[in-house]
Each structure stands twice: as structure tokens, then as C-alpha cells.
Structure 1
Amino acid sequence: MAIVLDGMGSDTYPAPEVEAAVLAAEELGEEIILVGQQELLEPRLKAANPRGLPVRIVHAPDVLEMGDKAVESTRKKPNNSMAVGMELVRTGEAQAFVTAGSTGAAMFNAIKILRRMQGVLRPALVTPIPTRTGRCAFLDTGANADCRPEFFTEFGIMGSLYAKHVLQVENPRIGILSNGEEAGKGNQLVKEAYPLLANAGLNFVGNVEPKEVYNGHADVVVADGFTGNIFIKTSESVAKLITDVLREEISTSFARKLGYLLVKPAFRRLKKMMDPSEVGAALLVGINGYVFIGHGRSDARALVSALRLAQQATKANMLDALRAAIQSQLAAATPES
């Protein structure tokens, strides 16, 4: 197996990518292919990899910066690191692609190079989030800011399959993120999507509010990419606020430090559960290849987590299972566009 890591993706590239490639090559025992400007990556990799772990560089002269317009910049820079990396996946030289770059650029390149699965209208980003009962697959978390009601049916189907193969949930419960539990709640998009999901042959449990998401009332939650992205980022910000405040409060007195020692294991578990670096990246489902997209601020630890997730998904042969199930289920459940 070989996994491609976009060497020019994160906000502080290429330092986190080079460090992550070496760490992942050692931990996972797989070849890691760093794609990017060779003159920038080569000296850093030589210094970071004295033991000669299986990390190699594939040159990509063009760089897509985070502020670039996805479509326009990709067309102007055809030999960008995302395009070159995904081409390695398309030809079979690598089995998965990981980037901490622009979501829009990654989606555009993925659709252009790897293509959508037959029957899929819109690929979506699926992110596992922590709940009281385990994890929940949340999608879309940023690939489609504007959605039509029928997209929610696709999201429900793809999320259900993700929950089965990745989260190991036998009969996933599907919910729509809304501002109330009742069927009539939500904006016009949610109201129109509700009956489509209710009649899609899924284990549909209706609308779920944010508190119900975190209480584990659904195994899959669907939303448009704009709402989903804000939901995820808000959740991460609140989690960081809680851990920062706790750390500051504990440091203010000896008694609190002593008390912390007694509950340290619980705090450690809580921090691990709430830390987005533990997941590392979201999977872009609905395309013919494994593409994982992480935060621009990803550090080496987050990128190693993303590479680990890519390895797990590939070894589970999730793509073939998704393709077969999506084609059969979408044919029955999704109206023609």
C-alpha cells in the first residue's frame, strides 16, 4: 500500500507534512508519498528521515494556496500537488490521498480526476464526531454550501454506509440536523428533505437538535455543507474553550492541582475524545477513490491520524462496498436530477 500526502496543503507547509510522513511511515509500515515542490521538500525530508523510512517525493511544481479560488486556480495551475497526488491514486500507484489544503480545491480535483461514483449527484464530506454513546457520522461538513433536498437522501445513504463500514454500526439511525424535533421544524430545505429521507428505506429517526446529536440519538446526521461546517467548527471551538478554561483554573492553586491528580485519567479521556486531531481528516464520499481532507491548521499529529484513517479505510475495502451499495440504493431511493 502507498498513501499520498499533499506536501503543500497545511497553513504552515511543508514542516507538518514532512514530519507526519516520517512518523506515519514508521507507525503504519506503509510507503508515504509526499507530493509537492521537490526543492522545498527534499532537504527537509533528508534531515527528518535519517533511517531511510519508506517516504519518497513526487514533484508537483504548482501550489494551491488556501486563499486561491478553487476552480480558477486549479485550471491555472494544472500541475498542483492535489492534482498530481490524486492522479497517483487514479492510476493505482497509490491507494489513498490526504491533504490539509482547501476543501473546494480538493473537491474540484477529486471530481475532475477520480470522478463521481455512478448515480451520485454530489460527493460529501463525512466527519466522525464524538457523542455520549460513541461516534456519529456527520455530513456534509463543508463540500456543498448550497444543497437541494434530494442531496440529503444521498447524504443519508452514504452516511449510513460509512457508519456501517467505519463506525461498525449494524443498523445506523439517520437524522436531519434541525432546530426542533417535530417534522414541521427547520428551514425550507429541511422541510422538503424530510419526506424524501423518510421514504428512502433507511432507519430514519427524523429531525435531531444539536443536543440530541451529542447525546447519541442518531448514528448519522445530515445537513447542508454550510450548516455542517459551522456546526463542526463551533463544536471544536467550544471543546477547546472548555479544556483551556479547565487548565487555567487548575493551575491557580495547589489544592486544585492536587484534586486534578485524582481525576487526571478522566480529564485525559475527555481531552482525547474532544480533540479533532484524533480523527485528523474527513472522507470525501461519493467519488471513485479515497480522498481525506483535514484542517489547514493541522499539525503533524493530526496528519498522522488522517494517514492512519486512510490506511484503515483502504484495508477494509470500504470503497468497493460503498460503490456497490450506493449504486443499488440510489437507484431505488434518489429521484432523477
Structure 2
Amino acid sequence: MKIAVDAMGGDYAPVEIIKGAVEAVKLHKLEVVLVGDHAAITKELAKYAYDKNLISVVHASEVIRMDEAPAVAVRKKRDSSIVVCNRLIKEGQADAVVSAGSTGAAMGASLLGLGRIKGIDRPAIASIIPTLTGYCLLLDVGANAECKPVNLVQFAIMGHIYAKKIMGIAQPRVGLLNIGEEESKGKELYVEAHRLLKESKLNFIGNIEGRDITRGRADVIVCDGFVGNVVLKFGEGLARDLMWMIKQELKKNIFVKVGAALVFTQAKGLKKRIDYAEYGGAPLLGVNGISIISHGSSDAKAIANAVRVAKECVEKKVVDCIRDSIHETILGDDEHARI
């Protein structure tokens, strides 16, 4: 198995990207192709001891910056690292791509280079969220600010498949994120999506509210990308800042400091559960290949975990499962025709 890694994408590229790739090769016994400026990559690689047969470099002369318009940049910069990564998949030289660069560019490059799975109108970015009972999958978290009801149904189908194949949940509970539990709540998009999901063969449990996400009421939570992105980033910020506030409170006197030292020693598991680096990256579901989008501030640990996620998606044949299931009888005949 060979994973193409965008070595030039991310706030800490190429240093942390390369460090994470080296770590991934050691941990997961796979091949990595680092794509980007050949001289910069080889210079950084020289710092590490690694199996030369498992890491190779493919030169890309261009980089898409965060401030560039993704759609324009992807078409204009055909030799950018993220475009070349997707080209390697298309040509059969890699099995998946991982990038911590511009989310829009990563999505655009995968759409342009790999295309959509037939029957999927729009791809969705799916993110793992920790809950009181384990984990849930939230999608879309940023690929589509505007959606139609049928898009949300397709997101639900893809989330259902990912939860079964990757998260190991036999019968994933699907919830629709809304402002209330009643079927009539929310704007027309959500009312109609509720109707379609209710008539589907998915294990749909109805609307859930924002406060229910971390309670573990649903295994797959569906929403449009605008709402999902706000929820995801609010959650990341809340987790980070709560930990900071707790630490500040515990520093107020010497007795509390002693107790805090003991508490935080035992709280490593909690920190691990809420650390986005543990989850590595979010799959872009619906494209005709494995594309993993990582946080822009990903460090080596996050990149190594993103490569692991890519490996799991390839091994579990997530794309094939989505392709097959979208044409099966998950939806009734009338609604299925609309997909």
C-alpha cells in the first residue's frame, strides 16, 4: 500500500509533515510518497533513519497557498503538490492522499483529479467527535455550505457505511442535527431531509440538538457544511480553552497545585480523547478515491494518524462500499431514483 502525502501543505510543512510520514512508515508498515519541493524534502529527510524502500519523493514545483482561491488555484497550478498527489492516485501510483493544506484546494484537487462516485452529487468531509459513550461521526464539516435535502440523505448513507466499516458499529444510529426534536423544526432543507431519512432504510432516530452530540445519542450526525464547520471548530476551541481555564484555576495556591499534579497525571486519557491529533484527518467521502484532509495546524503525530486513517480506508474498501451501497435498496425506489 502506498500513501501520497502533500509535504508542502499545512502550517508546519514540510518539517512536521515529513516527521509524521517517517513515523507512519515505522508504525504502520506501508509506503509513503512525499510530494513537493524535492530539494526541501530530501534535506529534511536526511535528519531521519528510515527504510529507503518505503519512502520516496515526487517533485512538485508549485504550492497552493491558504490565501488563494481554491477553484482557480487547482486549475491553474497543475504542478502543485496537492494536485500531483491526486494525479498519482488517478494513475495508479498511490492508493490514497493525505493533505494538511488548504481544505478547499484539497477538496477541489480530489474532485478534479478523482471525480465523484456515481450517485453522489456532493462529497462531504466527515469528522470523528468524542462523546460520553465513545465516538460519533459528524458530516458535513465544511465541504458544502449550501445543500439540498437529497445531499443530506447521501451524507447519511456515506456516514452509515463509514461508521460500519471503520468505526465497527453494526447498526449505526443516524441523527439529523437541528434546532429541535420535532419533525417540523428548522428550515425547509431540514424538514424535507427529515422526511426522506425517515422513509429510508437507514437506522434514522430523528432530529437531535447540539447538546446531544457529545451525549452519544447518535453514531452518525448529518448537517450542512456551514453548520458542521461551526460545530467542529467551536468544539475544538471549547476543549482547548476549558483545559487552559482549569489549569489556571488549579495554579491559585500551593495546596491546589499538589492536588492538580495528581489529577493531571491521571487525566492523560481525557486529553488524548479530545486531542484532534489523535484522529489525524477527516475523510472526504463521495470522491472516487481515498482523500484525507488534515487540520492546517497538524503536527507530526496528527500526520502519522492521518496516514493510518488513509490505510484503514483503503483496507476496508470504503470507496467500493459507498459505490455499491448507493445503488442498493437503502432508500425506497421513488427516493432512490432522485439520487
The answer to whether TM tops 0.5 is: yes
Q: CA deviation at 1:82?
A: 1.2
The answer to whether the Cα contact below 8 Å between 2:114 and 2:288 also exists between their aligned partners in 1 is: yes
> Which residue is 2:210 aligned to?
210
> Which residue is 1:243 aligned to?
243
Structure-2 change in CA distance of 1:330 and 1:264 (3 Å): same
User: Is 2:4 the partner of 1:4?
Assistant: yes
> Which residue is 1:45 aligned to?
45
Secondary structure (helix, strand or coil) at the match of 2:105 reads helix
Q: TM-score, normalised by structure 2?
A: 0.94
Cα distance per residue 1:279-323 (max 9 Å; x no partner):
011001111111000111111111111111111222223332222
Paired AA for residue 315 in structure 2: K
Secondary structure (helix, strand or coil) at the match of 1:136 reads strand
Secondary structure (helix, strand or coil) at the match of 2:194 reads helix
Alignment of 1:1-337 (within 5 A): 1-49=1-49, 52=52, 54-264=54-264, 266-328=266-328, 329=330, 332=333, 333-336=335-338
Q: 1: CA distance between counterparts of 2:99 and 2:229?
A: 17
The answer to whether the Cα contact below 8 Å between 1:146 and 1:226 also exists between their aligned partners in 2 is: yes
Q: 2: CA distance between counterparts of 1:331 and 1:206?
A: 18
Structure 2: unaligned runs, 5 residues or longer: none
Structure-2 change in CA distance of 1:94 and 1:331 (3 Å): farther
Q: CA deviation at 1:36?
A: 0.6
Q: 2: CA distance between counterparts of 1:278 and 1:267?
A: 15
Q: TM-score, normalised by structure 1?
A: 0.95
Q: CA deviation at 1:42?
A: 1.6
Paired AA for residue 130 in structure 1: P
Cα distance per residue 1:83-134 (max 9 Å; x no partner):
1111111222211110001121111111111111111111111111111111
Paired AA for residue 217 in structure 2: H
The answer to whether the Cα contact below 8 Å between 2:286 and 2:319 also exists between their aligned partners in 1 is: no
Q: 2: CA distance between counterparts of 1:45 and 1:263?
A: 39
The answer to whether the Cα contact below 8 Å between 2:180 and 2:208 also exists between their aligned partners in 1 is: yes
Equivalent residue pairs, number: 337
Q: CA deviation at 1:335?
A: 4.6
Q: CA deviation at 1:50?
A: 6.4
Cα distance per residue 1:216-274 (max 9 Å; x no partner):
11111001001101100000000001111122223333322322344335421111111
Q: 1: CA distance between counterparts of 2:302 and 2:155?
A: 25
The answer to whether the Cα contact below 8 Å between 1:155 and 1:222 also exists between their aligned partners in 2 is: yes
Secondary structure (helix, strand or coil) at the match of 2:338 reads coil
Paired AA for residue 13 in structure 2: Y
Structure 1: unaligned runs, 5 residues or longer: none
Cα distance per residue 1:167-218 (max 9 Å; x no partner):
1111111111111111111122212211111112211111101111111111
Q: 2: CA distance between counterparts of 1:132 and 1:58?
A: 43
The answer to whether the Cα contact below 8 Å between 1:176 and 1:223 also exists between their aligned partners in 2 is: yes
Q: CA deviation at 1:334?
A: 3.8
Q: 2: CA distance between counterparts of 1:178 and 1:268?
A: 33
Q: 1: CA distance between counterparts of 2:137 and 2:94?
A: 26
Secondary structure (helix, strand or coil) at the match of 2:46 reads helix
Secondary structure (helix, strand or coil) at the match of 1:47 reads coil
